[in-house]
Structure 1
Amino acid sequence: MADLPAVPSIGQGTVMANLHSKPLCYVHYKGIKFPPGYNSVENLCFAENEFEVQDDDIFNVTYPKSGTVWMIEILSLILNGGNPSWNQSVLNSCRAPWFTTQLGLEAAHLLPPPRLLTCHLPIHIFPKAFFSSKAKVVYTLRDPRDVLVSYYHFSKMCVPFENPESFNHFLESFLSGDVPFGSWFDHVTGWMKLKGKSNLLFISYEELKQDLFGIVERLCHFLGKELDEAAITSVVENTSFEAMRRNDMCNSTMLPKEFMDQEKGTFLRKGICGDWKTHFTVAQSEYFDKVYQEKMEGLKGIFPWEHTRQENHLGKGLNF
């Protein structure tokens, strides 16, 4: 569904207001470029090397536009026993802080355990302390063609992101990894190297769309937070696309125009699978498939969107 840092402070808002008045200058850290205004090399370095991970931390990790905000809402509800009061009264950026930013780090330090933390970090700059901890990661991934389309529309309305010249130009940038947060292919293949670890759970956007109730049950078991049927039903009902669109705590309408220009688009836009088919030409689709096959060598056949291509229906999930 979406991907939001904490609401900018007044000082950051001043920076945001000037971002589109001149060419963007992205923040670069270890080969990855990050949106300016709320990211800095210092904060990213701290997140990687000094962030203190607690054993009961729960990390919500995604590549942009892969269901980040959807998973925040699901995990928030699970942690609150299915009661929607927390989701409906506290901004998602405060419930699940983006700890790689200054504001997010401050919010993370205020959270009682178990902390829910969010980021788009690739594996090579994820907090080092995680790897010697019992903390858990929920990694959500999505058909990269739908990611690309959602990212394209998001970049047109989000001020700290460069406005795409055209869809075709953005497709080229996405396939080459020349977009904020780097290559989708590198991000996914990097994290997939940890598959099989007991403290890491992979979930696909497509599985969430196909069987949300079943995935919530799976997440509850992974987190050791068993809920009864009524509580799980509440999680499902309060994380429907329409429910989230109505919830100002997660639909981005609370963000200032200096950060998110709502006149240029809707943050929670469609929330569907297969929207790429309305954007890709035949030539673009063939080109994308060629690059995908080259970059995903060794991981073919395990993702739901590959089953849709082969069998014209959703697959049975991730074959781990």
Structure 2
Amino acid sequence: MVDPNFYTLYQGMHVPSFFYTPESLKYWEDFTFRPDDVIVATYPKSGTNWAMEMVPLVLSGGDSSLVDSVATWERSAGIGHVQVLGRDLENRPSPRFFGTHFHYHALPKSFYQVKPKVINVMRNPKDVLISAFHYYNSVEFHSNPGTLTEFFHNFLQGNVAFNSWFEHVKGWLNAEDKSHILYLTFEEMLQDLPQVVRRTAEFLEKPLDEEQVDRIADRCLFKNMKKHNNKAPAAIDHSKFYRKGIAGDWKNHLSEEEVQHFDSVYKEKMKDVDFKFPWD
């Protein structure tokens, strides 16, 4: 069971009360998107900050002055997030930049009417599990995850922040209109980041030459991104959002029995999904 002392139930999701208040959630319900808004949508610990570093660089043509001087959550707006209250988002120049962990069904009404551009990043759920376990152990605004075994079962049952990874991923993959959504994976970003930068630029209609692509890819290397974001001004220690930035760390943590159980749940939950994941 999700600890009600830490989480608020909203649209079927357990969202951290520290970041999502009744006032902020109400503000977002009435929010109006623009067609050229850009949203990074992820399940937590799926490469959120990596994508939110890359996208502004693509939009700026590789100019890193903004990402070097302004922290991620200050240059973007978290949908439903309390930190945007008081910001004049309505008068921000286009393209505005947003991030969200919300399930597809939980977005503000105007999202489905306006259809802003969305970059949806997914990650091997076993690695998401391990990353979330370590992260929730390191911050005060999530409940203690307990032992890894306890968190393992809660994760598979969806009894965690933002609930089921399976439902989150399937919701976005089954969007009514996929034409305004770019689907990426954490693993392909690791394998060929320049190609992901090219795909993102094409999707956002921001032509880049190869020098710009290489500059953005280099700036988004995990070691460079972590270094720069450690220096960004913020009330929250942003370094805790970055751990290893690798794929396959679950092999160092899960037993053979746990892997078999996870795989059986995954197979059943994802049997009707028509998408080729790099970890399958």
User: Of 166, 173, 183, which aligns to 2:147?
Assistant: 166
CA contact (8 A) 2:46 2:121 kept: yes
Q: 5+ residue gaps in structure 2?
A: none
Question: Structure 2 CA distance, aligned partners of 1:50 and 1:187?
Answer: 23
Question: What is the aligned partner in structure 2 of residue 88 from structure 1?
Answer: 68
TM-score (structure 2 length as normaliser) = 0.92
2:133 counterpart of 1:152: yes
Per the TM alignment, residue 30 of structure 1 is displaced from its structure 2 partner at its CA by: 2.3
Question: What is the aligned partner in structure 2 of residue 5 from structure 1?
Answer: none
Question: What is the aligned partner in structure 2 of residue 120 from structure 1?
Answer: 101
> Which contiguous aligned blocks of 4+ residues in structure 1 show a shift greater than 6 angstroms?
none
The amino acid across from 1:153 in the alignment is H
Q: 5+ residue gaps in structure 1?
A: 1-21, 307-320
Secondary structure, counterpart of 1:60 in structure 2: strand
Secondary structure, counterpart of 2:58 in structure 1: helix
Two-structure CA RMSD over aligned residues (Å): 2.1
2:260 counterpart of 1:286: yes
Question: Structure 1 CA distance, aligned partners of 2:237 and 2:141?
Answer: 9
Question: Structure 1 CA distance, aligned partners of 2:124 and 2:188?
Answer: 11
CA contact (8 A) 1:156 1:163 kept: yes
The percentage of aligned residue pairs carrying the same residue is 36
Question: What is the aligned partner in structure 1 of residue 13 from structure 2?
Answer: 32
Question: What is the aligned partner in structure 2 of residue 276 from structure 1?
Answer: 250
- Shift of the 85–77 alpha-carbon distance from structure 1 to 2, 3 Å rule, reads same
CA contact (8 A) 2:35 2:116 kept: yes
Aligned length: 277
CA contact (8 A) 2:58 2:216 kept: yes
Provide, for residues 187-215 of structure 1, a one-character-per-residue CA deviation record: whole Å limited to 9, x for no partner: 00111102872111100001111111011
The amino acid across from 2:265 in the alignment is V
Q: Which has the higher contact order (CA 8 A, sep 6+)?
A: 2
When structure 1 is superposed on structure 2, of 69-78 and 91-100 the one drifting more is 91-100
Secondary structure, counterpart of 1:43 in structure 2: helix
- Shift of the 244–301 alpha-carbon distance from structure 1 to 2, 3 Å rule, reads same
The amino acid across from 2:66 in the alignment is W
Provide, for residues 222-265 of structure 1, a one-character-per-residue CA deviation record: whole Å limited to 9, x for no partner: 000011111111110100000011113xx487554xx5597xxx
2:37 counterpart of 1:57: yes
The amino acid across from 2:12 in the alignment is G
Matches within 5 A, 1:81-230: 81-107=61-87, 108-109=89-90, 111-194=92-175, 197-230=178-211
Provide, for residues 176-197 of structure 1, a one-character-per-residue CA deviation record: whole Å limited to 9, x for no partner: 1011111101100111102872
